[in-house]
């Protein structure tokens, strides 16, 4: 029986802590609340529970919403984002005079990876006024902002660029913005994650690089990200579940001609997948659970260089709105004098 599939040694990565918690959210380190149509989940990873995650210790705040492109919705999301970002600043006793460097990671020329740099376009930059001795009214702090581009564009490890500039201008803390990778299509462009645990540049497009973190930079690092892509492994696994649910449904309704015309919105809630149907349909693959399936697909596809990303068709439109929410939100959280009218 040496032909069974062994996936015990493979790790599947998602950038979102919430995707590692799974369905069991009644845990003492998970804190949920709902504000209007927005759900906020705070996950605290520490030494007591870190074995359950492939993430570093830290707080992971997830803001989930339906549609950031609607004007009214977007204002609500922005309000929640401002509040949560301010909370994180308080944890580190960051006061109104602390200076900040904001860093946009990613490739401005590639729409699925441009969230970081286009958010930087929306940031109110003030550091040079303080440097040049120009009077700045009260209610502002010193903020600098850089776009690092990607290692493929600069030839330089992104961490090294950041470390060099942090050493040069010595900010009190940094905020890093990047496009992330989700492990579920349903979260793409519908989640903002704020964390104090640092970030790996390029993770959104699957090229993990040296991490940007408090440990390595010596100052608080707040990372803000939105999943804009999923990987091909996710798509294949999600499809297997969709297909099974569809098959189960059709099998049960096949004698009912009216049902054949119906467009089925299959449900991929894991608890709903009929395991017998799945095995019939997918054989040995059908006997694997989600994690196992992904690990197996990953083992096969990664080495052969499946160098693709999966992103929504309207990514340009949505990313633009998200960069406004995050840019305006950061301006609000950092400067007392900027108000979200």
Q: Which 91-110 residues touch a second copy, going by CB under 8 A?
A: 107, 109-110
| Contacting a second copy within 162-221 (CB under 8 A) | 163-165, 167-169, 185, 205-207
Among 14, 62, 127, 193, binds a second copy (CB under 8 A): 127
Binding mask 319-338 for a second copy (x = CB under 8 A): -x-----------------x
Under rule CB under 8 A, residue 157 binds a second copy:
yes
| Contacting a second copy within 242-271 (CB under 8 A) | 242-243, 246-247, 251, 254-255, 263-266
- Residue whose pair of structure tokens reads 């929410």 in the numeric block: 325
- Residue whose pair of structure tokens reads 């098959």 in the numeric block: 247
Looking at the Cβ atoms of 32 and 67, the one nearer to a second copy is 67
Among 73, 126, 184, 191, binds a second copy (CB under 8 A): 126
| 3-state DSSP assignment of residue 145 | strand
Stretch that binds a second copy, among 24-32, 51-59, 136-144, 173-181 (CB under 8 A): 136-144
| 3-state DSSP assignment of residue 266 | coil
| Contacting a second copy within 24-43 (CB under 8 A) | none
Helix (H) or strand (E) holding 320: helix 315-334
In DSSP terms, 225 is beta-bridged to 178, 193
Looking at the Cβ atoms of 213 and 248, the one nearer to a second copy is 248
Among 46, 215, 269, 316, binds a second copy (CB under 8 A): 316
Under rule CB under 8 A, residue 72 binds a second copy:
yes
The DSSP symbol for 158 reads H
Under rule CB under 8 A, residue 235 binds a second copy:
yes
Torsion of CA 265, 270, 275, 278, to 10 degrees: 50
In this structure, are strands 173-182 and 100-104 parallel, antiparallel, or unpaired? Answer: parallel
| 3-state DSSP assignment of residue 269 | coil
Looking at the Cβ atoms of 62 and 74, the one nearer to a second copy is 74
Under rule CB under 8 A, residue 300 binds a second copy:
yes
Among 230, 323, 326, 334, binds a second copy (CB under 8 A): 230
Under rule CB under 8 A, residue 161 binds a second copy:
yes
* Helix 275-282 and helix 232-253, axial crossing angle in degrees, nearest 10: 110
Query: How many Å apart are CA 299 and CA 10, to the nearest integer?
Result: 7
Helical spans, DSSP H, in 133-289: 151-154, 158-169, 214-217, 232-253, 257-260, 275-282
| Cβ count near 264 (within 10 Å) | 13
Among 46, 66, 96, 131, binds a second copy (CB under 8 A): 131
Under rule CB under 8 A, residue 303 binds a second copy:
yes
Under rule CB under 8 A, residue 46 binds a second copy:
no
Stretch that binds a second copy, among 23-31, 38-46, 173-181, 284-292 (CB under 8 A): 284-292
Q: What's phi and psi for 28, nearest 5 deg?
A: -70, -15
Stretch that binds a second copy, among 30-38, 56-64, 89-97, 280-288 (CB under 8 A): 280-288
- Closest separation between CB of residue 49 and a second copy, Å? 32
In this structure, are strands 173-182 and 143-147 parallel, antiparallel, or unpaired? Answer: unpaired
Looking at the Cβ atoms of 222 and 319, the one nearer to a second copy is 319
How far out from the chain centre does Cα 44 lie?
16
Query: How many Å apart are CA 261 and CA 45, to the nearest integer?
Result: 48
First to last CA, the chain: 66
Under rule CB under 8 A, residue 151 binds a second copy:
yes
- Closest separation between CB of residue 223 and a second copy, Å? 20
Under rule CB under 8 A, residue 310 binds a second copy:
yes
Structure tokens at 335: 């400067």
């Amino acid at each position: 029986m040496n032909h069974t599939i062994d996936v015990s040694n493979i790790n599947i990565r998602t950038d979102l802590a919430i995707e590692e918690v799974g369905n069991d959210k009644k845990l003492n380190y998970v804190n949920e609340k709902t504000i209007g149509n927005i759900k906020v989940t705070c996950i605290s990873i520490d030494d007591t529970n870190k074995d359950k995650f492939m993430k570093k210790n830290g707080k992971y705040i997830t803001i989930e919403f339906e549609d950031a492109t609607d004007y009214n919705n977007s204002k609500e999301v922005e309000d929640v984002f401002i509040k949560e970002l301010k909370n994180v600043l308080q944890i580190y006793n960051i006061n109104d005079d602390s200076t900040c460097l904001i860093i946009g990671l990613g490739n401005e020329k590639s729409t699925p990876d441009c969230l970081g740099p286009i958010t930087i376009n929306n940031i109110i930059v003030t550091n040079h006024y303080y440097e040049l001795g120009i009077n700045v009214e009260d209610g502002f702090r010193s903020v600098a902002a850089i776009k690092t581009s990607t290692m493929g564009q600069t030839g330089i490890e992104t961490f090294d660029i950041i470390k060099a500039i942090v050493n040069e201008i010595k900010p009190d803390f940094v905020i890093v913005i990047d496009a992330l990778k989700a492990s579920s299509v349903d979260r793409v462009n519908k989640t903002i994650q704020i964390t104090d645990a640092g970030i790996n540049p390029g993770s959104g497009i699957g090229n993990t690089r040296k991490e940007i973190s408090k440990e390595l930079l010596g100052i608080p690092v707040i990372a803000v990200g939105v999943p804009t892509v999923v990987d091909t492994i996710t798509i294949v696994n999600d499809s297997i579940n969709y297909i099974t649910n569809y098959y189960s449904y059709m099998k049960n309704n096949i004698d009912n001609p009216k049902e054949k015309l119906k467009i089925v919105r299959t449900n991929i809630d894991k608890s709903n997948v009929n395991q017998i149907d799945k095995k019939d349909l997918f054989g040995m693959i059908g006997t694997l659970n989600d994690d196992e399936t992904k690990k197996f697909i990953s083992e096969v596809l990664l080495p052969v260089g499946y160098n693709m990303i999966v992103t929504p068709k309207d990514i340009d439109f949505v990313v633009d709105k998200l960069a406004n929410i995050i840019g305006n939100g950061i301006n609000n959280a950092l400067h007392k004098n900027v108000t979200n009218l």
